[in-house]
Every structure is written in C-alpha cells, then in structure tokens.
Amino acid sequence: MLHEMGGWHPESPARLQAIEDQLIASRIDTYLEYRQAPAADIADIGRVHTPEAIALVRDNVPQLQSGQASYFPLDGDTSLNAFSWKAALAAAGAAVAATDAVIAGEIENAFCSIRPPGHHARPTEPMGFCLFNNVAIAVRRALEVHGLQRVAIVDFDVHHGNGTEEAFANEPRVLMASLFQHPFYPYSGTDSSCANAINIPLPAGTGGALVRRLIAEQWLPALHAYRPQMIFISAGFDAHRDDDIGQMDLLEADYAWITRQIKDVAKLHAGGRIVSCLEGGYNLSALGCSVVAHLRVLAGLD
C-alpha cells in the first residue's frame, strides 16, 4: 500500500483497497483465508532476474525527504519511491508463499492481491509498472525447488506478458497461454518463435463471445494435452469494458467463465492446484467486481 508512483499514476494503492472493499460488499470475504505476504528471498528472485536487474531496484530507492515523496524513474511510466523495494519483495514473496502452500496441500488454490504487478518485468530490467516478475519467480520455485515438470501459465491481461514469455522461452517444462489486445503496448507476442507459447492477439473492441470461442479452440486443447501439474494465472482485469487503459470489451461474467475453464483443467490434471497473481486492472469499480467474480470461482462459490 505504500509503494506508489505519483498521484497521477493508475497503478495506485487504491487498487488493493478497491478489491478489499468489493470482497466485503460481496460478502465472500468470510469464505477466504487471509495470509500476510512474507518478503521474498533474493535467491528466489535471482532464479528469474539478473543481479543487475535486482540491484537496479534495490540500490535506487529514494529516501524520504522531510516527509515529502520523491521518485526514481526507471522508465517513462515506472518509478521507485521509498517503499518500492519492500513492496516488490512482498509481492514476489506472496507468490512464492502461495506456491509453497498449494504444493504442500495446505490450500487448493490462492489469489495474490499484490502490487507492483509483474508480467512485463524482463529478466534484465523492470518495465511497464512492473519491478519483478512475480508469476515467473513463483514458477521457477515450483520447477527448481519443488521439482514440478509441467507447469502452465495463463495470462488474460489486456497487455502481452512479454517479460514472462522472455523468462520461459522454449522451456519445455512451461506452457504459456495468453490473450491480449494488439497492436498495443508492449507491441510483442505476435512474432514469437516460442514453441511453448499460445498467444491470442485480439483487436480493440473484442468482446466475451469471441474470447470464449478462441479460448475453447486454442487454449483448452493445448492445456489438456500438456496435462500441467500446476497452473499459474497472470490475472489482469484491464480488458474490462470500463477500463480506459485498454479498448477491450470483457465483463465480470467473462472473467468468471475463463477462471472456470482454468479451474476445470487444474482439477483434471493438477489436483486443483492454482496460484493466481494480480496484474493489471485500473478502473477501480471494474477491478474490484472482476476480482470478486474470479475468486467466487476459485473458492467454489459460483
């Protein structure tokens, strides 16, 4: 909640508060088990990011000056404030802790309500609101620490997860399935040579009917054929009709449907094991309602 990049910035602490408010208003908060995020170990982050990328965040955090906020710009829309390093460790740590808990059988699935988001963070540098790639860090832990051999990553953010794809390009232990608006930032995902990536670029204005058909035709057969032992979700809700950062036309019911398909795959092949991590979503009302729809399915309340 203390990491912020300026009052003008859409990736703001208000996003997490909007989610919490909608969970309470929907009355599903009492069905959820809340856990505090620990800080990630540098060793976990280092399985994905270079020492230079880690140092870029750690060593450039500005100090508070007479209580006034100050910022260190990493790119045109990504900055650090005094609390960004700790927030980045907590976001990655939540994904790691969720992975450990799901694999240990303590819980069947988890949603990490975290920021900063992660799927644009490249192994070599932060990018696009993202400091460290939370999902990629969690996946590496599942592979290297827990010994999983087949892991799927599903990304339905309005932007292509270029950092995640770069981190696992042609990695046979990882299948990546994503959809995103195109042409759109970061202008990637359509010329990929990754044999393990199923990318669905979509024109602006695409609605739920086409998204559901393409998922049924392209994602689901590949996921069932791959038989993942665990599924990770980059859960971006900025393809919602009311979110001005993109120009897609999805609704809460579409996010519930997508989640249900992923959950069915996980139930059949992975013992239900899912870790979902918040990525985008910047219209506060649409974000909160979409996360509720997502969690209703994950929690079996739908």
* CATH number, residue 194: 3.40.800.20
Predicted confidence at residue 279, as pLDDT, reads: 99
Q: Is the dihedral of CA 298, 209, 169, 187 positive or negative?
A: negative
Contacts of 108 (CB under 8 A, 6+ apart): 102, 271, 272, 273, 274
Predicted confidence at residue 191, as pLDDT, reads: 85
Contacts of 84 (CB under 8 A, 6+ apart): 3, 57, 61, 116, 131
Domain assignment present for 7: no
Range scoring the smallest mean pLDDT among 44-53, 57-66, 70-79: 57-66
Reply yes or no on whether 120 is catalytic: yes
Domain assignment present for 114: yes
* Res 134 pLDDT > 90: yes
Map 260-291 to HEC letters.
Answer: HHHHHHHHHHCCCCEEEEECCCCCHHHHHHHH
Could you tell me which residues are beta bridge partners of residue 155? Answer: 178, 234
Domain assignment present for 34: yes
Domain assignment present for 100: yes
Helix (H) or strand (E) run with residue 128 in it: none
Given a contact cutoff of 8 angstroms between Cβ atoms, the answer to whether 159 and 139 are in contact is no
Total domains in the chain come to: 1
- Distance (Å, rounded) from C-alpha 65 to C-alpha 271? 50
Mean of per-residue pLDDT scores for the chain: 97
Predicted confidence at residue 68, as pLDDT, reads: 82
What are residue 100's phi and psi, to 5 degrees? -60, -45
* Res 118 pLDDT > 80: yes
Domain assignment present for 9: no
Length of the chain: 302
Question: Containing domain of residue 19, as a range?
Answer: 14-298
* Res 205 pLDDT > 90: yes
Given a contact cutoff of 8 angstroms between Cβ atoms, the answer to whether 213 and 179 are in contact is no
Q: Work out the end-to-end distance of the chain between its first and last CA atoms, rounded to an integer number of angstroms.
A: 29
Predicted confidence at residue 138, as pLDDT, reads: 99
Domain assignment present for 105: yes
For residue 165, the SS3 value is helix
pTM for the whole structure: 0.98
Residues 29-45: what's their mean pLDDT?
97
pLDDT tens-digit map of 137-196: 999 999 999 999 999 999 999 999 999 999 999 999 999 999 999 999 999 999 877 999
Other CB atoms within a 10 A radius of the CB of residue 251 amount to 18
Domain assignment present for 158: yes
Domain assignment present for 83: yes
Predicted confidence at residue 67, as pLDDT, reads: 73
For residue 237, the SS3 value is coil
Catalytic residue among 3, 49, 119, 120: 120
Say what angle helices 252-269 and 284-298 make with each other, to 10 degrees: 30
Sheet of strand 174-181, all strands in order from the earlier edge strand to the far edge = 109-112, 274-278, 230-235, 151-155, 174-181, 197-202
Backbone dihedral region of 113: left (phi > 0), alpha (psi from -120 to 50 degrees) or beta?
beta
- pLDDT-based confidence at residue 69 (cuts at 50, 70, 90): confident
